[in-house]
Structure 1
Amino acid sequence: MALTFYYGSGSPFAWKVWLALEHKAIPYELKVLSFDKEETKAPAFRAINPRGLVPTIVDDGFALWESAVILEYLEEKYPQKPLLPKDVKARATVRRLATEIGDYVKTASNELTDLTLFRDTPATKEELAAAHTKMLEALAPFEAAFVGPYIAGELSIADFTMFPFVRMLARIELRKPSQGIADDRLPPKLRAWKGAIEKLPYYEKTIPPHWKK
């Protein structure tokens, strides 16, 4: 029985799980839930995940949520094309990077996204400058520690955790010119890294559906 993957278009947490499913070539059934229609709050979905959040997976009757935990579960149950190194120190490094991304890059990305895409009143130049500075400062340690060709060397959960937040910057720039952070303002190693992720054979498939409209 194929794994069922509950997804919300544009969720960075759901996107990283989708990338992992595709990378590992795990058979899955995609169920897209609409945030606008509040489908994540529907009783049928709450019966699966009482918190009503995506991503959620159901694998052989086992329901699981929280994106970082889902990635760990997929890594253990489906070890093909691993996203964690075998070496214990290297594995710890990747996990640390993923945690730091969730703590710092996510916070800066969310602040900029809320400021530009979801606030009713336009952002001031000062607010935008401060948000851009915070985002670039959040990315700076990853640029400094970048191994190549991906963040920690081989493709890992750190890359899939980081990518949706970095890709959101271009999304903001497309919708609100001069308010996002264009690729040419990204640190050079991370700019090349973003391009490498976008060349993965399954990248196009995982672009949030509403971003394609």
Structure 2
Amino acid sequence: MLLYVDSQFASPYALSAFVALRTKGIAFEVVPLDLAASQNTTPDYKETSLTGRVPTLVCDGFALSESSAIAEYLEELHPIPRLYPSSPQARARARQVQAWLRSDLLALRQDRSTEVIFYRPTVSPLSPAGEVAAKKLLQAASALLAHGEGHLFGQWCIADLDLTVMLNRLVLNGDPVPEALASYARRQWQLAAVQEWLRFPRPAL
């Protein structure tokens, strides 16, 4: 298998696909693409990935983009160990969380890009829209974790990683975050596959 990722190793979606593959114990090769140099827009890559995006997984001639689609595909190919909860309701909620994190909170993603996670914090304050998005994130995360357990659904799932990345836009930048949520994010960040991702060499900004 090949996993195409960004050469800065700063895409939260590439990280999610990487962790999914590591969790499944599947052998694969990481292929970095320099997005700033438009390596994702070459005819060969666009023919492979269909959308010209990262991450893209290539397996036995089949190419698939979008990290949540990759996770669900891997879950069907290799059901154990699980990426999603076994309960249908919890599994649906996990997918809801993933879809929400990818489609909402744009102002927060703009104010706190993943550079604050993988490179360095910013001193810029949140914009008014960013503050609204941050409040929405913290309220939803607090509700999801109100049970006080270490994971969203009793055991780790891929949605824990995706929620942690979004929380870390604030936590690792030093923005105010309730301690319970900051502690949750710090614990999730110690996952071996995440730590491996963090060790990839990154080009200067």
**The TM-score by the shorter chain falls in which range?**
0.7 to 0.9
Instruction: Quote the Cα distance in structure 1 between the aligned partners of 2:142 and 2:204.
Output: 29
Structure 1 residues 40-95: Cα deviation after superposition (integer angstroms, max 9, x where no partner): 11222112013210010001111111111111001111222201122212212222
Distance 1:33 1:138 in 2: 30
Q: Are the equivalent residues in 2 in contact too, given 1:19–1:202 (CA < 8 A)?
A: yes
CA-CA distance at 1:34 after TM superposition:
0.8
The 3 A distance-change label for structure 1 pair 124 and 59 is closer
* TM-score, scaled to structure 1: 0.79
- Quick check: 203-212 or 20-29, which moved more? 203-212
Consecutive unaligned residues in structure 1, runs of 5 or more: 174-181
Q: 2:5 is paired with a residue of what secondary structure?
A: strand
Query: Mind listing any 5+ residue stretches in structure 2 that lack a counterpart?
Result: 117-121
Aligned to 1:210, what secondary structure does the other structure show?
coil
Contact map agreement 2:15 2:194 (CA 8 A) in 1: no
| Residues 55 and 65 in structure 1, CA contact (< 8 A), matched pair in contact too | yes
Q: Distance in 1 between matches of 2:79 and 2:204?
A: 32
1:101: which partner in 2?
101
1:102 positional shift: 2.2
Deviation digits for residues 87-116 of structure 1 (CA, Å, limit 9, x no counterpart): 2122122222222222334x24323136x9
**Number of residue-to-residue matches in the alignment:** 194
**CA contact 2:111–2:130 (8 Å) conserved in 1:** yes
Residue identity opposite 1:25 in structure 2: G
Distance 1:165-1:145 versus aligned 2 partners, 3 A rule: closer
Percent pairwise identity: 26
Counterpart CA distance in 1 for 2:97 and 2:195 is: 25
CA 1:140–1:209 in structure 2 vs 1: closer, same or farther (change >3 Å)? farther
RMSD between superposed Cα atoms in Å: 2.7
Output the amino acid matched with 1:5.
Answer: L
Name 1:155's counterpart in structure 2: 156
